[in-house]
Amino acid sequence: MITYSIINKSQLEGNLRLDAEYYRPEYLELIENINNLGAVPIRNMVANPKRKFKPQKDKVFQYIEISEVDLSTGEYNKREILGRYTPDRAQWIVRQNDVIISTVRPIRNAVSLIKEDIENLVCSSGFAILKPEKIEPEYLFIYLKSKPIVELLDRMTTATMYPAITVEDILKTKIYLGNQKFRNEIKNEVLEAEKETEKSKSFYSQAENLLLEELGLKDFKVEDDLFYVVNLSNVKSAHRTDAEYFQPKYRLIEKKLIKDFKAKKIRDFNFIEITTGQYSEEYIEAALGKPYIRGTDLSGTITVKLDNLVYIDSKKQLSSKKAKCGDVVVTRVGTVGISARLPKEVEGGTISDNLIRLSFPEERLNSYYVSLFLNSIGSQFMIRESRGSVQSRLNQETLKEIVLPVLPKATQQKIADLVRKSHEARKKAKELLEEAKTKVEKLIEK
């Protein structure tokens, strides 16, 4: 069925937009709803500080950069960087209670509320910074994540090779304020979600610490040697000449795991099956297909991010590449060594060819334990074993060279219980944020 809109010349927003997509009926209806609610431009409620990060020229400096934003919770990863000032790299300083939102539209609803007070915390110029002054930061955060507002911002995307919106587009977008009671309700749900997120991080950290303690690696310090001697025969047998591969620290950790815990190379576990996934670039709607799990869907907390999954036609699935709950996968291309345990939500989906899968009976090895080991200690060995100058790659045979210690079943279960608690708390946080978002969406759309 064809839909259309009749637009008066006076409605063409200063003749800046003439594309039909911009005037779709659902957009116009949504804008009318928001206007009828008495919404005001976001710029009336916030400041847009221009805090450009500009350290002293020609001096080494240290800063912390926001590197990735979780599209469902708004959590962000941080990485410490030591370097020199480069004038062509624009970065903004962010502060506690700032709300940052991506202006690069393929990323869409990447919105974060900064809750930490950290010196030299920066984000790239691909984010707009909003400093709430007359509105609760938590409410603004949820409002910008709500589906109607994401769609309205998408509407303003420029039709160029690099789709984006401007800070001005965000500032002129209208925000429905409701009443103080309603905003406090949203604020409290966000604060409760933050508590659950912190619990999730705490449980995961406890699981990692328990793993390291049980393996005797908690206080096991091995520094990178500035130089070391390698026999030519070792170079020939390894078919490697890169210095990092022969760092003594890898051999020391490996020896310790073999000596103290009878660790074996994965190839020597006759009950572990190693396979890779299926290549596909044809995606369909979620309701019509099956999940297609890619390396970008692994969260770093040994599970799969479900919010941004793509789906493939079930008729094109290879039965041998189908996902099963409890399978352990690791990334083999690009960022090598991220591991995850496949949850029940993706069972029956398909594993992509940029992942390697380990399948084994749960009674022989705990899948949470294996995934945590591979995601922490094992990842260092996988990075070491990977090859490639432009893009790192790990294949099935090199993965089989990684040593895997087997702790007592009771210890494996303790680690698994902590990881499960971490996942449960994270799930609760997502549910709370979804509830808050739904409340805002209902008011806007009714």
Domain presence at residue 229: no
pLDDT of the residue at 157: 84
pLDDT of the residue at 10: 60
Work out the pLDDT band at 245, boundaries 50, 70, 90: low
Mean pLDDT value across residues 370-386: 88
Task: Note whether 147 and 24 are same-domain residues.
Answer: no
**Residue 141 to residue 65: CA distance in whole angstroms:** 20
Of 149, 176, 203, which residue is a domain's last? Answer: 176
pLDDT at 214 over 50: yes
pTM: 0.84
pLDDT at 357 over 90: yes
pLDDT digits (tens, 9 = 90+) for 263-283: 999 999 999 999 999 999 899
Mean pLDDT value across residues 164-173: 92
Element (H, E) at 273: strand 273-276
Tell me 288's DSSP state: G
Task: Note whether 382 and 428 are same-domain residues.
Answer: no
One-letter-per-residue 3-state SS of 378-412: HHHHHHHHCECCCCCECCHHHHCCCEECCCCHHHH
pLDDT of the residue at 393: 83
Task: Note whether 102 and 156 are same-domain residues.
Answer: yes
Task: Note whether 431 and 381 are same-domain residues.
Answer: no
Work out the pLDDT band at 72, boundaries 50, 70, 90: confident
Q: What is the CATH number of the domain that holds 294?
A: 3.90.220.20
Task: Note whether 91 and 142 are same-domain residues.
Answer: yes
pLDDT at 345 over 90: yes
Task: Note whether 109 and 162 are same-domain residues.
Answer: yes
* 7 phi, psi to nearest 5 deg: -115, 130
Task: Note whether 102 and 201 are same-domain residues.
Answer: no
pLDDT at 235 over 70: no
pLDDT of the residue at 99: 97
Evaluated on CA atoms 404, 406, 409, 411, the torsion sign reads negative
Strand-pairing partners, residue 122, are 65, 93
The more confidently predicted of residues 3 and 153 is: 153
pLDDT of the residue at 338: 92
pLDDT at 15 over 90: no
pLDDT of the residue at 55: 76
Residues 6+ apart with CB under 8 A from 190: 113, 138, 139, 141, 142, 432, 433, 436
pLDDT at 424 over 70: yes
pLDDT digits (tens, 9 = 90+) for 40-70: 999 999 999 988 887 777 777 788 888 788 8
pLDDT of the residue at 180: 94
Domain presence at residue 445: yes
Tell me 9's DSSP state: G
Domain presence at residue 301: yes
Mean pLDDT of the chain: 86
Mean pLDDT value across residues 200-219: 92
**Residue 201 to residue 66: CA distance in whole angstroms:** 17
The more confidently predicted of residues 355 and 249 is: 355
| Of residues 130, 138, 133, 134, the one with CA closest to residue 182 | 138
pLDDT of the residue at 384: 78
pLDDT at 435 over 80: yes
Give the residue numbers spanning the domain of 203. Answer: 178-214+409-446
Task: Note whether 170 and 298 are same-domain residues.
Answer: no
pLDDT digits (tens, 9 = 90+) for 102-161: 998 777 778 999 999 988 899 988 899 999 999 999 999 999 999 999 989 988 887 667
Question: Do the Cβ atoms of 129 and 48 come closer than 8 Å?
Answer: yes
The more confidently predicted of residues 358 and 17 is: 358
Task: Note whether 266 and 192 are same-domain residues.
Answer: no
Work out the pLDDT band at 380, boundaries 50, 70, 90: confident
Angle CA 195–198–201, to nearest 5: 155
**Residue 189 to residue 127: CA distance in whole angstroms:** 25
**Residue 215 to residue 406: CA distance in whole angstroms:** 10
Give how many domains the chain has, as a whole number. 4
| % of the chain beyond a pLDDT of 90 | 55
Tell me the residue length of the chain. 446
Mean pLDDT value across residues 350-364: 96
